[in-house]
Amino acid sequence: MTSQNLPTPKRGTFVERAAKKPGKLPPRHISDMTLAERKEAVTALGVPGFRADQLSRQWFGRLNDDPTTWTDLNGSARETIQQELLPDLLEPVRTLSCDNGTTVKQVWRLHDGSLVESVLMRYPNRVTMCVSSQAGCAMNCPFCATGQAGLTRNLSTAEIVEQVLAGSRMLARGEVAGGPGRVSNVVLMGMGEPMANYNRVIKALRMLTTEAPEGLGMSARGITVSTVGLVPRMRQLATEGLPFTLAVSLHAPDDELRDELVPINNRFPVAEVLDAAWEYAAKTNRRVSIEYAMIKDINDQRERAEHLGRLLKGNLVHVNLIPLNPTPGSKWTASRPEDEVAFVAALERHGVPVTVRDTRGREIDGACGQLAATTS
Ligand code: SAH
């Protein structure tokens, strides 16, 4: 399959960009706000509070992002709202697709010039969007492309929500191969460490799961939060009262190797991370995903499979093995097929459910760990 460069849709002029320094959060947007906050915001602008319901119905309910067509609002209310509460947050820079148009990666330029990426993946029964939670990442995992340039900044709530909405609009308009559809799943597995941008991420996830038209009405079960294992935040997530799926990027069963692959392990070692994961499973009754990138001769040995099996067995858990997507200049590569098979078999002998993740989007640099948002 060949990747293709699709024409990028034109949007309004992006006036804010040049004026701001990289690293600054964007101006406020209705996707940052609960319905009550939208009411407050419009009222403060001299627009009656009920207009917040109307604009929410347009934006979140009908996925209509063109205020000039909102005929239920009068012209002056539309103008004020557009100017004050609907700044352009995501400027499309590039759209790449593969898998016959069912995988679509988008590169976005934010108001301060930062670049982030999101990936839409359509499967027969679901559409999953992989979205970014930060511009860059501070976690510095040596096998991940995003980590190499460090962290630029946290994304705002609206910048996270709008990535999902952009995909939702494309699907609603029938612009993704397979006809009109809806986003059913969201995974926070794009750029960034979601638990390091906790409050904004949680607000975004609440917006996704709140009934339309206040939010997008998605099921919390369809939303996966992936973390390197920031233990205090994992424990906090368990108290939010929403059954998100938690994914933990383990990648090694032993601290010695994990210290190298996931450097934050120095602070939160394997045993503590798994303790927090089991607490999450117990509180939410949700099966925790363990992410494990299969790296040839680094973490894919038989003894590590046995060790992992012993650590995980008997818990509410599912292992996702991800064949390593090598990043440019990386000395590491994906495991041999026979080692992958043996690893799966060892986990299965311990009664640990395991699947091997597909590598959707690989040829457009849209697969796990490839999101570096370069436009060259
Ligand atoms: N910071 C979060 C979410 C982002 S990455 C986290 O670490 O969980 C989503 C998943 O892709 C993580 O499990 C991450 O370790 C994995 N990943 C990163 N780089 C990869 C690569 N080159 N090949 C395969 N998986 C990779």
Cα 52-209-156 angle, rounded to 5 deg: 70
Nearest to 255 by CA among 247, 263, 245: 263
- Using pLDDT thresholds of 50, 70 and 90, give the confidence band for residue 18: very low
The residues annotated as belonging to the active site are 117, 368
| Share above pLDDT 90 across residues of the chain, in percent, rounded to a whole number | 86
Pocket test for ligand 1, best of 264, 368, 371 (most atoms within 8 A of CB): 368
User: At residue 204, what are phi and psi to the nearest 5 degrees?
Assistant: -65, -45
- Using pLDDT thresholds of 50, 70 and 90, give the confidence band for residue 376: very low
Q: Which two tokens stand for residue 3?
A: 């990747």
Is there an atom of ligand 1 within 6 Å of 228 CB?
yes
Angle between helix axes 302-312 and 337-349 (nearest 10 degrees) is 30
Q: What is the pLDDT of residues 187-224, one digit of tens each?
A: 999 999 999 999 999 999 999 999 999 999 999 999 99
Cα 8-14-19 angle, rounded to 5 deg: 140
Pocket test for ligand 1, best of 257, 291, 365 (most atoms within 8 A of CB): 291
Cα–Cα distance for residue pair 122/279, rounded to 1 Å: 32
Cα–Cα distance for residue pair 123/108, rounded to 1 Å: 23
Q: Which two tokens stand for residue 263?
A: 């450097």
Strands 127-130, 134-136: parallel, antiparallel or unpaired by DSSP? unpaired
Write the DSSP string, 243-282: -PEEEEE---SSHHHHHHHSGGGGTS-HHHHHHHHHHHHH
User: Which numbered atom of ligand 1 lies nearest the CA of 144?
Assistant: 19
- Using pLDDT thresholds of 50, 70 and 90, give the confidence band for residue 272: very high
Average pLDDT, the chain: 92
Cβ atoms within 10 Å, residue 160: 32
User: What are the structural domains, with CATH classification, of the chain?
Assistant: 14-24+88-364 (3.20.20.70), 30-85 (1.10.150.530)
- State the pLDDT at residue 9: 39
**If 0-12 CB within 10 Å is exposed, 13-18 middle and 19+ buried, where does residue 1 land?**
exposed
Is there an atom of ligand 1 within 6 Å of 372 CB?
no
Rounded alpha-carbon distances, angstroms, from residue 205 to 159, 295, 307, 349:
12, 32, 34, 36
**If 0-12 CB within 10 Å is exposed, 13-18 middle and 19+ buried, where does residue 172 land?**
middle
Sequence-ordered list of residues with C-beta below 8 angstroms from that of 32, at least 6 positions apart, any chain:
156, 157, 158, 161, 203
Q: Which residue, judged by its Cα, is nearest atom 18 of ligand 1? A: 369
| Share above pLDDT 70 across residues of the chain, in percent, rounded to a whole number | 93
Cα–Cα distance for residue pair 160/14, rounded to 1 Å: 19
Q: Which two tokens stand for residue 31?
A: 């996707």
Distance (angstroms) between ligand 1 centre and the Cα of 298 equals: 16
Cα 363-340-295 angle, rounded to 5 deg: 60
Distance (angstroms) between ligand 1 centre and the Cα of 227 equals: 9
Distance (angstroms) between ligand 1 centre and the Cα of 249 equals: 7
User: At residue 231, what are phi and psi to the nearest 5 degrees?
Assistant: -55, -50
pLDDT (average), residues 33-56: 97
- State the pLDDT at residue 12: 38
pLDDT higher than threshold 60 for residue 13: no
H or E, element range at 335: none
- DSSP-derived letter for residue 128 is E
Cα–Cα distance for residue pair 334/348, rounded to 1 Å: 21
- Using pLDDT thresholds of 50, 70 and 90, give the confidence band for residue 374: low
